[in-house]
């Protein structure tokens, strides 16, 4: 018995957002389309793993726990979001026209704007997590889940930025059903937190 695309989307989302080997290849277009609906769920799982790490190392102090937790997040995701941040910062800081921006976005090298953005964001992430101290584990689960919901709605509302082929294009073909399912995960996470 084969799983329907809505369920295979969970594995596709895990493959897309993390380095966790979940198998399931090859994924069909429909599986990738449903992946976005599972982004918040995968985020909650990542947050739970990070929260567990926090609880294991918090005897070393909040700064140590925050540093280990952020490093674990980078390891689990392959610094996926940080790579996107660096590319975006380089493109916005180093280009004055649309064509050059897309050229910079496709360049695998990191520029000075990207490096600066990464340093600022990682330092802030560690400092703010350390400041949360005992509330950090719950905050990790909620923020990892909640932060992955707005992009689904953006994928529904906005056209894909380029017309050419892209490996992530099938994931960006979310529609209302994916956005509604994706929005249910944060609602469940918030209900569980109370």
Q: What is the pLDDT of residue 156?
A: 94
CB proximity list for 152: less than 8 A, separation 6 or greater: 36, 37, 39, 40, 174, 178, 179, 182, 183
Residue 114 inside a domain? The answer is yes
Residue 26 inside a domain? The answer is no
Closest to 141 (Cα-Cα) out of 189, 77, 74 = 189
Residue 103 inside a domain? The answer is yes
Residue 139 inside a domain? The answer is yes
Residue 24 inside a domain? The answer is no
Tens of pLDDT, residue by residue over 138-194, are 999 999 999 999 999 999 999 887 776 666 778 888 899 999 999 999 999 999 988
Question: Average pLDDT of 42-53?
Answer: 98
CB proximity list for 127: less than 8 A, separation 6 or greater: 66
Per-residue confidence band for 137, with pLDDT thresholds at 50, 70 and 90: very high
CB proximity list for 121: less than 8 A, separation 6 or greater: 82, 85
Q: Which domain holds residue 128?
A: 8-18+34-193
Q: For the chain, how many structural domains are there in total?
A: 1
Reported pTM: 0.92
Residue 172: what are its φ and ψ, rounded to 5°? -80, 5
Residue 2 inside a domain? The answer is no
Per-residue confidence band for 23, with pLDDT thresholds at 50, 70 and 90: confident
Residue 128 inside a domain? The answer is yes
Contact 118, 86 (CB under 8 A): yes
Eight-class DSSP state of 95? -
User: Cα(78)–Cα(66) distance, rounded to whole angstroms?
Assistant: 18
User: Cα(180)–Cα(40) distance, rounded to whole angstroms?
Assistant: 12
Residue 178 inside a domain? The answer is yes
């Amino acid at each position: 018995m084969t799983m329907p695309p809505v369920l295979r989307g969970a594995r596709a989302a895990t493959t897309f957002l993390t380095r966790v080997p979940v198998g399931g290849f090859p994924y069909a277009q429909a599986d990738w389309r449903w992946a976005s609906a599972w982004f918040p769920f995968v985020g909650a799982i990542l947050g739970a793993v990070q929260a567990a790490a926090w609880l294991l190392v918090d005897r070393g102090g909040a700064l140590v726990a925050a540093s280990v937790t952020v490093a674990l997040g980078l390891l689990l995701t392959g610094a996926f979001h940080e790579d996107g941040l660096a590319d975006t910062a380089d493109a916005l800081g180093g280009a004055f026209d649309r064509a050059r921006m897309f050229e910079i976005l496709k360049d695998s090298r990191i520029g000075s704007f990207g490096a600066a953005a990464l340093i600022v964001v990682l330092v802030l992430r560690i400092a703010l997590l350390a400041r949360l101290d005992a509330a950090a584990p719950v905050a990790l689960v909620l923020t990892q889940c909640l932060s992955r919901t707005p992009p689904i709605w953006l994928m529904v509302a906005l056209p894909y930025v380029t017309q050419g082929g892209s490996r992530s294009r099938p994931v960006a073909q979310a529609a209302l059903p994916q956005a509604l399912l994706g929005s249910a995960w944060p609602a469940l996470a918030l209900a569980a937190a109370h």
